[in-house]
Amino acid sequence: MLELRNISKRFGQVLANDNVNIIVKPGTIHAIVGENGAGKSTAMRIAYGFYTPDSGEIVVDGQVREIRSPHDAIALGIGMVHQHFMLVEPMTVAENIVLGSEPGTAVALDLKTAAQEIRKLSEEFKLAVNPNAVIEHLSVGQQQRVELLKALFRHARLLILDEPTAVLTPLEVEEFFTILRRMREQGKTVIIITHKLSEVLAISDEVTVMRDGKVVGRVQTKETNAAELARMMVGREVLLRVEKPEPKVGEPELVVSNLTMTKRDGSKPINEVSFQVRKGEIVGIAGVEGNGQTELIEALAGLVEPNQLSGEINFEGQNITRAGARSRRELSIAHIPEDRHRRGLLLDFTLAENSILGVHYRPPIAAGVGGVFLDDSAIHQRVTEIINNFDVRPPNEKLAAKSLSGGNQQKLIIGREFHVEPKLLLVSQPTRGVDIGAIEFIHRKLVGLRDSGCAVLLVSAELEEVTSLADRLLVIHQGKIVGEVDPKVATLEEIGLLMTRGH
Amino acid sequence: MRALARQLLFPLIAVIAAFVLGGILILLIGDNPIVAYRLLIGSALSWPDGIGYTLFHATPLIFTGLAVLVGFRCGLFNIGAEGQLYIAAFATAWVGITFANLSPWLLVPMCCAAAILMGAFWAAIPGVLKAKFGSHEVINTIMLNFIAVALVSYFTQYHYKIPGDPILQTAPIGYGAHIARLGKFIPGLPQRIPLNLAFILALLCCLLVYLFLWRTKWGYEIRSTGSNPSAAEYGGISIRKQIILAMAVSGALAGMVGINDVMGYHYRYYDGFSDQYGFTGIAVALLGRNHPVGVILAALLFAVLQHGGIYVDGFSEHVTKDIVQVLQGIIILFVAAEAFFQYVTGKFGLKYAKL
């Protein structure tokens, strides 16, 4: 169906695609896997006409084709769904789908026939999308199906999906895969770009593995496994399972009792939550995103207005419910936030400047007359330690944080928060958007910190991550802790049910 | 080095483009742009009058440019430098009149303190309003401009004017509040040129602002707040405090314009003395890339235009000094276009540069 032959593409200094060969057979689901920056998206954008290759050719249905723009790609039956949806929120599904190829005469827009056709397509593939619904009222999963419909409406026979599951909840992922299988049955070809190995194994027929801009492997899904794929992606053996000794649990470090957060609009994202975290253990919080995890961690970190909180947060016997973020940090509470761009980093600042956030105001960083001036050598020493201990690349403290890859940004944040030798670590989505190699590294660091006696509270949307890291697992549903399970014993299905139903 | 070149690139393009477009305009009017520009720049850089006056004109622009810069670095848009400098100048004069008989050793510091504190106070008002109630500083600083101008005019007219004086100005300040003109120290520079010690103070402030913003913990907190308030908050920084602090520092810098004008030039409060210094300061800060060194360069450029414009007016046939306004306008337009350009590339560039 689609073949990329010897495709190369250079962006400035970076050879994003180096002699890439990809063959996608018709009627299959083909996964392209690789770490961030491996060149997966570049290759697919070339196939979709977003970029023109520096050399090489694209073959569609056995014929060499020039694809100069997405328009050409669509004409050849190639459709692409981007990671970030390109939908006009206040408009209806039908309006969004026809956008760019409006049916009817030059002046009159014929939405009725379009809506009929959309309904037909939606039924054919069991997408359950109402053409007259307004986009902003739809869930993320539904919006994604609208994107699929957009491609199908333009008679796409080959669909390229860029990280389609990144935005979906575990349940939505299942539904989505069912849709993909149905599309394959109807004779469509699907390319799915991802870096989640479990999904590759679950959905694809064939896998192309990319690393550093090159294709490093092409295998039948049936004949491979996660460990082999991971090794190909990273280029070395990767430990997929977290190995950890039995916890040596000590005194309770954090005790939360009846914590409720009431927002100004009266909603209660956290509702009567009580739990404790002891020294030397990792307590995981599992839940579908948006069930209060974000607010809970922010409340514990001192980032929620105290007057929105009731109940008590006790740290080492001290009531810190009304303490601010700075005084909590002074008690050795560290926080790895879920959104590194919004909370964790000053993207325009250098690595050195980022490395002192939170301790910038006290010795040894602030020194000199009256403890006012920033001490360059102290900053240099600190950032060098973080860069070395956490393998931040490139190891140049003068670079702006925004120029690092997601994984290295995350390592910088984790290094910074570890550097204060915390007694309590609040950590949210520690490996979101991070490469496999770095995930392994981060997991080992978290376990090491726990073994040194730190109390760790971990929130993650990756169920496998929380179950493998946590010593105890709490399930949160609509702001309430609805159960505690032993992650060694409980099955993913059990936890999944608690997460979605709350009992 | 490359980073510096990149920093200079857009301001340079803006200035060159302004001169090219301005040149075309002069051609259309029917004059020779080369002649006009030679007149403009030549006269502004002649010794001693040109350079003396150019530096004198640059002084308030350095102060207001720094004021706007400090605000910007905290994510605040201080459009109120104009009002802050009027209030501060009046306060300076008030101290200089009220304590006219004190010795310079007392009176000069007192007058300077009046300028700095009054400017800081006037700017802190919108700062507090923003920190406490979230009301936007742009609206409040603009409003306070009107209030400041009306207030000082009122006090000048009805309380501090010498009866019978046809000019809207206060009584003179005491001799103890005068600061020396630089002609006193520099041979060949006549003392009639009002370039005074405030210029040295302005340069000193550039250094101090640099040290404050980039070398102290307070500056780090202000810049963090400006760069990413959520991350600053996460780092235990009180955003509210930074907003008030940054506005106060910004106002203090704007207020120092009063030192230049009251203590070094008019020796009294002269109503309407500001030639839009507060607003030109915005352009100075933008063109100067929100960096103290850039502010000096941009202030000098605007001062050259301002002073040279007078000669263009006098000596060329058709072109008036309004050409200066045109040049300034085009420069600002280009600098603003760059911000837009960066916004667009930042927004879409990131997306499409993802490999």
Q: How far is B352 from chain A (nearest CA, A)?
A: 9
Question: What pLDDT is attached to residue B347?
Answer: 43
Q: Are residues A385 and A413 in the same domain?
A: yes
- CA pair distance B174, B108, nearest whole angstrom: 10
User: Which residues on B lie below 8 Å from A357 (Cβ)?
Assistant: 224, 231-232, 234-235
Q: How confident is the model at residue B339 (pLDDT cuts 50, 70, 90)?
A: low
Q: Are residues A359 and A328 in the same domain?
A: no
Q: What residue numbers bound the domain in which A362 lies?
A: 339-420
Q: Report which secondary-structure segment, H or E, holds A285.
A: strand A282-286
Question: What pLDDT is attached to residue A104?
Answer: 62
Residue A496: C-alpha distances to residues A35, A275, A282 (Å): 27, 20, 20
Q: Please tell me the total count of domains within chain A.
A: 3
Q: Tell me, yes or no, whether A308 lies in a domain.
A: yes
Instruction: Provide the b/e sequence for B79-96 (b: ≥16 CB within 10 Å).
Output: bbbbbbbbbbbbbbbbbb
ipTM value for the complex: 0.87
End position of a domain, from candidates A234, A255, A280 = A234
Quick one: average pLDDT of B209-218? 96
Instruction: Provide the b/e sequence for A54-69 (b: ≥16 CB within 10 Å).
Output: eebebebeeeebebee
Q: What angle do CA A399, A401, A406 make, to 5 degrees?
A: 125
End position of a domain, from candidates A404, A420, A436 = A420
- CA pair distance A210, A7, nearest whole angstrom: 13
Closest alpha carbon within chain B to A328: B236
Residue A124: C-alpha distances to residues A458, B22, B163 (Å): 42, 64, 92
Q: Is pLDDT at B217 greater than 80 in this prediction?
A: yes
Q: Could B231 and A343 be called an inter-chain contact, meaning their C-beta atoms sit closer than 8 Å?
A: yes
Q: Tell me, yes or no, whether B234 lies in a domain.
A: yes
Q: Which two tokens stand for residue A64?
A: 């060499």
Question: What pLDDT is attached to residue B350?
Answer: 37
Q: Please tell me the total count of domains within chain B.
A: 1
Q: Tell me, yes or no, whether B110 lies in a domain.
A: yes
- Which of B215, B218, B231 minimises the CB distance to A346? B231
Q: Which residues of B touch A (CB under 8 A)?
A: 215-218, 220-221, 223-224, 227-228, 230-238, 351-355
Q: Are residues A296 and A404 in the same domain?
A: no
- Which of A324, A349, A373 minimises the CB distance to B216? A373
Q: How far is A140 from chain B (nearest CA, A)?
A: 20
Q: Tell me, yes or no, whether B308 lies in a domain.
A: no
Closest alpha carbon within chain B to A341: B231
Q: Are residues A318 and A226 in the same domain?
A: no
Q: Could B234 and A357 be called an inter-chain contact, meaning their C-beta atoms sit closer than 8 Å?
A: yes
- Residue B348 burial by Cβ neighbours in a 10 Å radius (0-12, 13-18, 19+): exposed
What does the CA dihedral A316, A319, A324, A327 come to, rounded to 10 degrees? -40
Q: Are residues A285 and A318 in the same domain?
A: yes
Q: Tell me, yes or no, whether A132 lies in a domain.
A: yes
Q: How far is B203 from chain A (nearest CA, A)?
A: 21
Question: What pLDDT is attached to residue A139?
Answer: 79
Q: What are phi and psi of A194, to 5 degrees?
A: -160, 165
Is A97 within 8 Å of A169 (Cβ atoms)? no
Question: What pLDDT is attached to residue A180?
Answer: 92
- Which of B230, B354, B355 minimises the CB distance to A343? B230
User: Which residues on A lie below 8 Å from B355 (Cβ)?
Assistant: 11, 14, 16, 37-39, 41-42, 213
Q: Tell me, yes or no, whether B31 lies in a domain.
A: no
Q: Tell me, yes or no, whether B216 lies in a domain.
A: yes
Residue B282: C-alpha distances to residues B80, B128, B228, B250, B298 (Å): 10, 22, 22, 12, 11
Q: What residue numbers bound the domain in which B272 lies?
A: 55-301
Is A392 within 8 Å of A411 (Cβ atoms)? yes
Q: Is pLDDT at B165 greater than 50 in this prediction?
A: yes
Q: Are residues A6 and A128 in the same domain?
A: yes
Q: Which of A258, A457, A252, A424 is nearest to A328 (CA)?
A: A424
- CA pair distance A273, A480, nearest whole angstrom: 6
- Residue A465 burial by Cβ neighbours in a 10 Å radius (0-12, 13-18, 19+): buried
Q: Find the largest Cα–Cα distance for chain B.
A: 76
Q: Which of B148, B99, B100, B93 is nearest to B115 (CA)?
A: B93
Q: Tell me, yes or no, whether A393 lies in a domain.
A: yes
- Which of B220, B227, B355 minimises the CB distance to A16? B355
Quick one: average pLDDT of B259-278? 95
- Residue A75 burial by Cβ neighbours in a 10 Å radius (0-12, 13-18, 19+): middle
Q: Are residues A406 and A428 in the same domain?
A: no
Report the DSSP beta bridge partners of residue A270: A261
Q: Tell me, yes or no, whether A242 lies in a domain.
A: no
User: Which residues on A lie below 8 Å from B347 (Cβ)?
Assistant: none
Q: Are residues A167 and A33 in the same domain?
A: yes
- Residue A164 burial by Cβ neighbours in a 10 Å radius (0-12, 13-18, 19+): buried
Q: What are the tens digits of pLDDT across the range B323-333?
A: 888 888 888 88
Q: Is pLDDT at B353 greater than 60 in this prediction?
A: no
In a 13 Å sphere around the CA of A325, the CA atoms on its Cβ side amount to 25
DSSP-derived secondary structure letter, A201: H
Q: Are residues A406 and A431 in the same domain?
A: no
The C-alpha R_g of chain A, in whole angstroms, comes to 25
A108 versus B346: which is more confidently predicted?
A: A108
Q: What are the tens digits of pLDDT across the range B51-101?
A: 999 999 999 999 999 999 999 999 999 999 999 999 999 999 999 999 999
Q: Which of A305, A430, A301 is nearest to B234 (CA)?
A: A301
Residue A224: C-alpha distances to residues A197, A208, A228, A271, B245 (Å): 11, 12, 7, 45, 61
With residues binned 3-state (H G I as helix, E B as strand, rest as coil), the percentages for chain B, rounded to 5, are: 75, 0, 20
Q: Tell me, yes or no, whether B339 lies in a domain.
A: no
For residue B219, give the 3-state DSSP assignment.
Answer: helix
Q: Are residues A218 and A346 in the same domain?
A: no
Quote the crossing angle between the two packed helices B292-315 and B197-215, to the nearest 10°.
150
Report the DSSP beta bridge partners of residue B33: none
Q: How many percent of chain B have pLDDT more than 70?
A: 94
Q: Tell me, yes or no, whether B38 lies in a domain.
A: no
Q: Are residues A270 and A227 in the same domain?
A: no
Q: Which residues of A touch B (CB under 8 A)?
A: 11, 14, 16, 37-39, 41-42, 50, 84, 213, 301-303, 324-329, 335, 337, 342-349, 353, 356-358, 360-361, 365-366, 371-374
Q: Walk along chain A (503 residues) and give the pLDDT tens digit of each residue.
A: 899 999 998 887 778 899 999 999 999 999 999 887 788 888 999 999 988 899 999 999 989 998 888 889 999 999 998 877 888 888 888 888 888 776 666 666 777 888 888 888 888 888 888 888 888 888 778 888 898 888 888 889 999 998 888 777 777 888 889 999 999 998 999 999 987 888 889 999 999 999 888 999 899 999 998 888 888 888 877 766 778 889 999 999 999 999 999 998 889 999 999 999 999 999 999 987 788 999 999 999 999 999 999 999 999 999 999 999 999 999 999 999 998 888 999 999 999 999 999 999 998 999 888 889 999 999 999 999 999 999 898 889 999 998 888 888 999 999 999 999 999 999 999 988 787 888 889 999 999 999 999 999 999 877 888 888 999 999 999 999 999 999 888 887 788 788 877 77
Q: Is pLDDT at B341 greater than 70 in this prediction?
A: no
Q: Tell me, yes or no, whether A240 lies in a domain.
A: no
Q: What is the CATH number of the domain that holds B172?
A: 1.10.3470
Would you mind telling me the total number of residues written for chain A in this entry?
Answer: 503
Q: A316 in the Ramachandran plot: left (φ > 0), alpha (ψ -120 to 50) or beta?
A: left
Q: How far is B292 from chain A (nearest CA, A)?
A: 18
Question: Residue A242: which residues within 8 A CB-CB, separation 6 or more?
Answer: A443, A444, A447, A468, A469
- Residue A412 burial by Cβ neighbours in a 10 Å radius (0-12, 13-18, 19+): buried
- CA pair distance A272, A476, nearest whole angstrom: 11
Q: Which of B62, B123, B121 is nearest to B277 (CA)?
A: B62
Residue in the block written with tokens 């970030």: A84
Q: Tell me, yes or no, whether B87 lies in a domain.
A: yes
Q: Which of B147, B153, B144, B148 is nearest to B125 (CA)?
A: B144
Q: Tell me, yes or no, whether A196 lies in a domain.
A: yes
End position of a domain, from candidates A420, A450, A471 = A420
Q: What is the CATH number of the domain that holds A53?
A: 3.40.50.300
- CA pair distance A495, A188, nearest whole angstrom: 34
Q: Which two tokens stand for residue A372?
A: 């006012």
Lowest-confidence region among A36-50, B49-63, B142-156, B333-347: B333-347
Q: Report which secondary-structure segment, H or E, holds A208.
A: strand A206-211
Question: What pLDDT is attached to residue A354?
Answer: 96
Q: Could A353 and B238 be called an inter-chain contact, meaning their C-beta atoms sit closer than 8 Å?
A: no
Quick one: average pLDDT of B159-180? 93
Question: Residue A50: which residues within 8 A CB-CB, separation 6 or more?
Answer: A70, B352
Residue in the block written with tokens 């969004």: A96
From the candidates A305, A350, A361, which should be mutated to test the interface with B, based on the most B CB atoms within 10 A?
A361
Q: Are residues A67 and A201 in the same domain?
A: yes
Is A473 within 8 Å of A484 (Cβ atoms)? yes
DSSP-derived secondary structure letter, A137: G
